Structure 1
Amino acid sequence: PSLFALNPGARVVIGADLGATHALVILTDLSGTELASARQSMTISDGPETVLGWLVAAIGTLLREAKRSSSELAAIGIGLPGPVEHETGRPINPPIMPGWDRFDVPGLVQRSFNVPVLVDNDVNIMALGELSGNWPDTTDLMFIKVATGIGAGIISGSMLQRGAQGTAGDLGHVRVPRGGEIPCRCGNTGCLEALAGGPALAAALNALTGGELTSSQGVIDLVRSGDRDAIQVIRQAGRDIGDVLATCVNLINPSVVVIGGSLAQAGEHLLAGIREVVYRRSLPLATEHLRIVPSVAGQNAGVRGASVMAISHVLSPESIETASLSAP
């Protein structure tokens, strides 16, 4: 008999989180240990050639910093802030990504690095990052990103659930009881995002106070300073999210719900509103052991998840079988 063990340093992978206004890239070994990283402020609306051009250059820089060759790179995982057809890696009608619709993201990156390139939406990779880093023994988890938009990454039976067309978890465009005829950017009315997304909260607080907030960060700052109107607005946002999430808890029965995204910085006031409705409206059995918690990984959840996605591909039975067949 012989004992075999994985050598995690034998190959490396790239994880990239390309957000609306930022880009974060890490180089890790096959255990997920970070070897090098790069961060850049940039706008996703600059277009795929500009953003992915920076990414390709950053990958080369990280490999040199870690003294690794491109032949040691095994895969690249990328998260994008919009709907993605996971099988092809192409964004599909992404609302904040002009010029990206059906763009061949893997094809452009593979011109420089001939390795598998996996692409998914940002909420899915955040769910993977949070799961692997903080809830490794959990088989059923939901990650809720609350920011400009609202979405969910769903882990069920230890598997990421993307749905038939990759749109599973799009909570932001579910109609909520309080929504009425409030218009949403998707063309419908009464959507959760139109009530509880970042711009909606800034507008709601302006209506209460006569202020001139232009972003959700202003709302968060006021909540942290103890402003009663801001706390009222963020607490109601939590209740609205809870209305939709209560149905998800009954339907999917997760054991952990993680709240992340920029608005999670509002802390316990948002969580309290969510918990208030979920625990009241969901089935008692579904909430008996349910935990609703803030994200621990924070801003690193996405890039960590992108790395996990790449590592999972490299170590999958199919990839190992392919590699063994092609070995001399």
Structure 2
Amino acid sequence: MSAPGMSVGEVFQLVREGQAETRSDIARLTGLSRTAVSLRVNQLIEHRLVVERAEGGSTGGRPPVRLEFHATGAVVLAAAVGASRAQYAVCDLAGRILASSAVTSDFTEGPDVALRSVVRQLDGLLAAAGRTDADVRGIGVSIPGVVDRVTGRIVSRPVAPGWDKVEVPEVLGARFPVPVVVENDVNVLALAEHQAHPGTDDLVMIKASTGVGVAIIADGRLVRGAVGAAGEIGHTKIGGDRVCRCGATGCLEAYAGGWALARELGVADARAVGDLVRARHPEALRAIRDAGRRIGEVASGVVNLLNPAAIVVSGDIVSDGLVAGIRELTYQQSTDVATRGLTIEASTLDDQAALAACVVMILDDLLSPDAIDNLTSPPSRSARS
């Protein structure tokens, strides 16, 4: 069958990255025989990953033919699902958005209702983009909760009863029988921030929205922990008798989470809290600064333990007052050496950063050399026929 040497997936990377534009380029770069190059290229064409286009300018004989990454040959779906808001997109294989939407969401309705809504939104966007089920290669999903990265199972309820042990890939796969990659929402934001901070390989991402969570980039890699629960600072006990959504008392979230602040200020949700702060409502300004101090108190322990170079804060309740409160207590309660050079700042990414990161996440999974090899191997081809 295939000649030894560069695999189909490795040849695809050469084309995708623009290193090889012709079959001759592939042969020169890899040392593969003409027959082996043709075999690999034909497999990539068959799976709509590469196309050949005739170039103009030939003075006789066959016109020169150029290989291109067939970015429009298929699509991926993305869903950045939050506790109170969700964003969706259909993208081509280069990550270009073909159709997108943003809607309110409510996790308290339970997984059946919420995940049906996800499917409905993705169905509608797929039609709006003029694509069909046959075009879909994979789905990237972020969700607020502890996620088993291998299985996509939620191993801890995110914000409401009924979500524990929900198999998100199984539910979405019943409608779209393609790979589904599920990740914690704060982890997805951390990956986006890491891309936005080149050269900063030790970074802590704080999401202050309906809940409070942390994601950790250490030595350039996302730290998930033994069961995916790294960064769950929202349920760190800080004292007091307020009851948290998790049922315990004294959690950080019960004092600094957007849901708790919304209850305290008499508004609907975390986004409404942010609106009050932007309107300079005196009570909201006091509450948000206090929430920042409480988050900073817990974040100081994270700084002492991990010594990050940067803390980036994102979410619906982020404001100058919240970040100032986090800075105040973090610098006050962390060691001098751990805060040397430490920056604490609000995210400058737009509100589609999580959605974009979901797209990158699924594309990295689908278009890796190993994934392409599995897709183009005879057993995979047989299974998909």
TM (norm. structure 1) is 0.84
How far does residue 41 in structure 1 lie from its aligned partner after superposition?
A: 2.9
The change in CA–CA distance for 1:312 and 1:286 in structure 2 (over 3 A counts) is: farther
After superposing the two structures, state which structure 1 stretch, 78-87 or 90-99, moved more: 90-99
Determine the structure 2 residue equivalent to 1:173: 235
Partner Cα separation in structure 2 for residue 204 and residue 53 of structure 1: 32
Within-5 A mapping of 1:148-159: 148-159=210-221
Match of 2:331, SS?
helix
How far does residue 107 in structure 1 lie from its aligned partner after superposition?
A: 1.5
User: What do residues 98-128 of structure 1 show as CA deviations (whole Å, max 9, x unaligned)?
Assistant: 4333222212222232211111222222222
After superposing the two structures, state which structure 1 stretch, 187-196 or 218-227, moved more: 218-227
Counterpart among 319, 322, 326 of residue 371 in structure 2: 319
Determine the structure 2 residue equivalent to 1:251: 305
User: What do residues 241-267 of structure 1 show as CA deviations (whole Å, max 9, x unaligned)?
Assistant: 111111112222222211111111xx2
Match of 1:246, SS?
helix
Unpaired runs of 5+ in structure 1? 206-211
Partner Cα separation in structure 1 for residue 126 and residue 253 of structure 2: 40
User: What do residues 269-317 of structure 1 show as CA deviations (whole Å, max 9, x unaligned)?
Assistant: 1111111122233233432332212122343232222212211211334
Runs of 4+ off more than 4 Å: 202-205, 212-219
Determine the structure 1 residue equivalent to 2:104: 41
Partner Cα separation in structure 1 for residue 275 and residue 125 of structure 2: 35
Partner Cα separation in structure 1 for residue 89 and residue 141 of structure 2: 11
Partner Cα separation in structure 2 for residue 186 and residue 61 of structure 1: 34
Contact 2:84–2:210 (8 Å) recurs in 1: no
Counterpart among 143, 148, 156 of residue 85 in structure 1: 148
Partner Cα separation in structure 1 for residue 173 and residue 254 of structure 2: 38
How far does residue 168 in structure 1 lie from its aligned partner after superposition?
A: 0.8
Alignment-mate amino acid for residue 77 of structure 1: G
Determine the structure 2 residue equivalent to 1:196: 256
Match of 2:312, SS?
strand
Match of 1:106, SS?
helix
Contact 2:144–2:158 (8 Å) recurs in 1: no
Whether 1:291 and 2:307 are equivalent positions in the alignment is no
Unpaired runs of 5+ in structure 2? 1-10, 17-68
Within-5 A mapping of 1:63-74: 63-74=126-137
How far does residue 95 in structure 1 lie from its aligned partner after superposition?
A: 5.1
The change in CA–CA distance for 1:252 and 1:36 in structure 2 (over 3 A counts) is: same
Partner Cα separation in structure 1 for residue 373 and residue 81 of structure 2: 31
The change in CA–CA distance for 1:218 and 1:50 in structure 2 (over 3 A counts) is: closer
Match of 1:4, SS?
helix
Alignment-mate amino acid for residue 314 of structure 1: L
Match of 1:280, SS?
helix
Percent identity, please: 40
The change in CA–CA distance for 1:136 and 1:113 in structure 2 (over 3 A counts) is: farther
Counterpart among 164, 185, 188 of residue 125 in structure 1: 188
The change in CA–CA distance for 1:69 and 1:135 in structure 2 (over 3 A counts) is: farther
The change in CA–CA distance for 1:180 and 1:44 in structure 2 (over 3 A counts) is: closer
Counterpart among 333, 356, 359 of residue 307 in structure 1: 359
Determine the structure 2 residue equivalent to 1:208: none
Alignment-mate amino acid for residue 155 of structure 2: I
Match of 1:262, SS?
coil
Counterpart among 291, 295, 316 of residue 241 in structure 1: 295
User: What do residues 123-177 of structure 1 show as CA deviations (whole Å, max 9, x unaligned)?
Assistant: 2222223333x3344322222111232101222222222111111110111123x
Contact 1:128–1:308 (8 Å) recurs in 2: no
- CA RMSD for the aligned pairs? 2.8
Partner Cα separation in structure 2 for residue 183 and residue 97 of structure 1: 14
Determine the structure 2 residue equivalent to 1:59: 122
After superposing the two structures, state which structure 1 stretch, 21-30 or 195-204, moved more: 195-204
Alignment-mate amino acid for residue 23 of structure 1: A
After superposing the two structures, state which structure 1 stretch, 190-199 or 235-244, moved more: 190-199
Partner Cα separation in structure 2 for residue 175 and residue 181 of structure 1: 10
Match of 1:40, SS?
strand
Alignment-mate amino acid for residue 370 of structure 2: E
Contact 2:235–2:251 (8 Å) recurs in 1: yes
The change in CA–CA distance for 1:147 and 1:13 in structure 2 (over 3 A counts) is: same
Determine the structure 2 residue equivalent to 1:160: 222
How far does residue 213 in structure 1 lie from its aligned partner after superposition?
A: 4.7
Which has the larger Rg?
A: 2
Alignment-mate amino acid for residue 308 of structure 1: V
Alignment-mate amino acid for residue 345 of structure 2: V
Alignment-mate amino acid for residue 170 of structure 1: E
